[in-house]
Amino acid sequence: MYLLGVFAVVPRYVLGLYETLTPVSEWLVWYSGIPIALGFALALFDLLVLFDRKRPLQQLRVDEFKDPEVTVALTAYNDEQGIGDAVRDFRDHPRVRRVIVVSNNSTDQTFERATEAGALTFNETEPGYGRCVYRCYVESLRFDDTELMVLCEGDRTFRAHDIDKLLSYVPHADIVNGTRTVEALRERNTQLTTFMFYGNLFTGKLLEAKHLGCSTITDVGTTYKLCRTSALRALLPALNPAVNLEFNAHFLDMALTKKLVVLECPITFHARVGESKGGNTGNFRALSVGLAMIRGLTFGWKSAI
What does residue 104 show for φ and ψ, rounded to 5 degrees?
-100, 70
- Cα 30 from Cα 156, distance rounded (Å): 58
pLDDT digits (tens, 9 = 90+) for 94-152: 999 999 999 999 999 999 999 999 999 999 999 999 999 999 999 999 999 999 999 99
Using CA atoms, how far apart are residues 21 and 9, in angstroms rounded to an integer?
Answer: 8
Q: What is the rounded CA–CA span in Å between residue 55 and residue 83?
A: 43
In 3-state terms, the chain is what percent helix, strand and coil (to 5)? 50, 15, 40
Tell me the CB-side half-sphere exposure of residue 113, using CA atoms within 13 A: 21
Q: Write out pLDDT tens, residues 231-287.
A: 999 999 999 999 999 999 999 999 999 999 999 999 999 999 877 666 566 788 899
The residue extents of the domains of the chain are 2-54, 70-299
C-beta atoms surrounding 85 within 10 Å: 14
Reported pTM: 0.85
Rounded Cα distance, 132 and 80, in Å: 17
Q: What span, in angstroms and rounded, lies between the C-alpha atoms of 158 and 41?
A: 46
Nearest-Å Rg of the Cα atoms of the chain is 24
Least confident of 22-26, 267-271, 288-292: 22-26
Q: Which of 137, 162, 159 is nearest to 237 (CA)?
A: 137
CATH no., domain 70-299: 3.90.550.10
